[in-house]
Structure 1
Amino acid sequence: MLQLLIDADACPVVDLALFVSSQYEIRPILFCDTSHRIERDNVKTIIVDKGPDSVDFKLLSKLKRGDLVITGDYGLAAMCIAKGGIVVNHHGKELTSDNIDQLLAIRYESAKIRRAGGRTKGPKKRTEENNLVFERKFRQICERAILLKEEKEHE
């Protein structure tokens, strides 16, 4: 069975992703640290001690090739892609080996500006339109992931 691993700390689409994954019989698992404790009925939640990257490493340890991952952390996304995960952010954008290097470079440059005392733009306020776009794109990714899994099972 396909899994959906959600980096739930600061993820604005947890409930929407759980709703969509339930329609495709994809088993969701939420990952968070003790300062967030995000739990939902009938959904497995893995809570780890607070610490740098503790959630990331736990999520990676549970990831299997072909599993879906939702995260806004480009570093975690890069590791999941390398391990064969299908990664999507909370905007519904699929993060792939074709675009992750550029996203990591932008993150690095933004951090450099902030360390030097500069300011960078923060995220825009989330709208219902953002949720609709995420849902539509996430459904497409779920359907493709299921087809890929079925193809591999028939090889």
Structure 2
Amino acid sequence: MNAYGIPSRLQVLGSDIDRSQLKYHDRRVAVTKEFTFDAAHHLHAYDGKCANLHGHTYKLVITVSGRVNDIGIVVDFGDLKRVFEDVIKRRLDHQYLNEVLPPMNTTAENMIVWMWEELDRALEAHGRDRDVRLERLELYETPTSRASLDRAWMS
């Protein structure tokens, strides 16, 4: 090996490591991915500037947990991205939230519960074989303001 630690060759499945070794454990592990979408809204019965139509770049942080599959993966990050895009982004990105969400005041506190319900249904169908489940959501309206939910609170 040289001074920079560059390997002389790549590990080869079947000769350097067996497929049965890819799954190192059978423990529950959490996986987290962050996403953004842009949307506009306003709040009803609110005495403040958010009563006016305005927009945010929302950030949604999704944490799921499950047991690893036979190659050591709980959920592929690409699959988690597809679930987010199908369930949340496709419906909310560049939309007027007061119009596309169920009747509610479009607060982060209300929106995150709706998001939980929608994502939970989609993830249940996706990762049933490894007990993949939603553990935590964080919805940022701004870089310093967010609502959060944990699995225990939704039981």
TM-score by length of 1: 0.25
State which structure, 1 or 2, has the greater radius of gyration over its C-alpha atoms: 2
Q: Which has the higher contact order (CA 8 A, sep 6+)?
A: 2
TM-score by length of 2: 0.25
**Bigger strand share:** 2
